[in-house]
Amino acid sequence: MLIDKGRAAFIAVDVQNDFCPGGALAVPEGDAVVPVVNRLAEFFELCVATQDWHPAGHSSFASSHPGAVPYGSALIAGRDSTLWPDHCAQGTRGAEFHPGLNTAPYRLVIRKGFRPALDSYSAFFENDGATPTGLDGYLRGLGAPTVVIAGLALDYCVYYSALDAARLGYSVYVARDACRSVGSPSGSEERALADLSSRGVAIIDSMEVFR
């Protein structure tokens, strides 16, 4: 496998305090991705980071739905949606990037999920599948036909980012060892990986980039 790193973009998804141990929506071993993500970013001329950036009372929060519990579901804007603990609230420490993340290589930070009634997993679109984040136009303007994706969490935001990138026609690679999963519901990681592979997304180890 050969990735032309001069024409590829590296996308670091949601490497934020609330998704790491001790955070409000902690992903098991979430902080373990930080050194691998840092090393990957060194290999690319074009790096983009995403940042969950929710207003207080966001519709994806279980606390916004009386009687609801985190990891349950609710009908939001006509879509059956997962409900989460309050997390990555704008301006809080939980929304900040993990302190170990080297942010110097990143040319652009995409803040997503800031619309009160609309969640956003993907780096490319809000969860309605139609409202763009602006990332596609940015990458096309810079002539980057390939994306390498890593971060948190594999079975949600990394998965949907890779799915949308493939749908948009990019060559897509997911650095498996630079991701961790929520793991809810059971088997979500395995289903995400299988679905991405079936759609032509390459699941790789970061060593394949470092070679």
What is the number of alpha carbons within 13 Å of residue 145 lying toward its C-beta?
Answer: 4
Q: Could you tell me the domains of the chain?
A: 8-56+92-210 (3.40.50.850)
Closest CA to 118 of 183, 63, 52, 70: 52
- How far apart, in Å, are the Cα atoms of 5 and each of 21, 127, 166, 203? 31, 29, 18, 17
Average pLDDT taken over every residue of the chain:
95
Is position 157 annotated as part of the catalytic site? Answer: yes
pLDDT, position 77: 75
Given the residues 14, 31, 52, 86, select the one marked as catalytic: 14
Backbone angles phi, psi at 155, to 5 degrees: -85, 5
Tell me the pLDDT tens digit for each residue of 158-211. Answer: 999 999 999 999 999 999 999 999 988 889 999 999 999 999 999 999 999 887
Strand partners, 112: 52
The pLDDT confidence band at residue 75, using thresholds 50, 70 and 90, is confident
Given the residues 20, 86, 88, 112, select the one marked as catalytic: 112
Share of the chain above pLDDT 70, in %: 100
Is position 112 annotated as part of the catalytic site? Answer: yes
Given the residues 20, 47, 157, 179, select the one marked as catalytic: 157
The pLDDT confidence band at residue 16, using thresholds 50, 70 and 90, is very high
pLDDT, position 36: 98
Rounded to two decimals, what is the model's pTM? 0.96
pLDDT, position 2: 75
Sequence length of the chain is 211
Is position 5 annotated as part of the catalytic site? Answer: no
pLDDT, position 198: 97
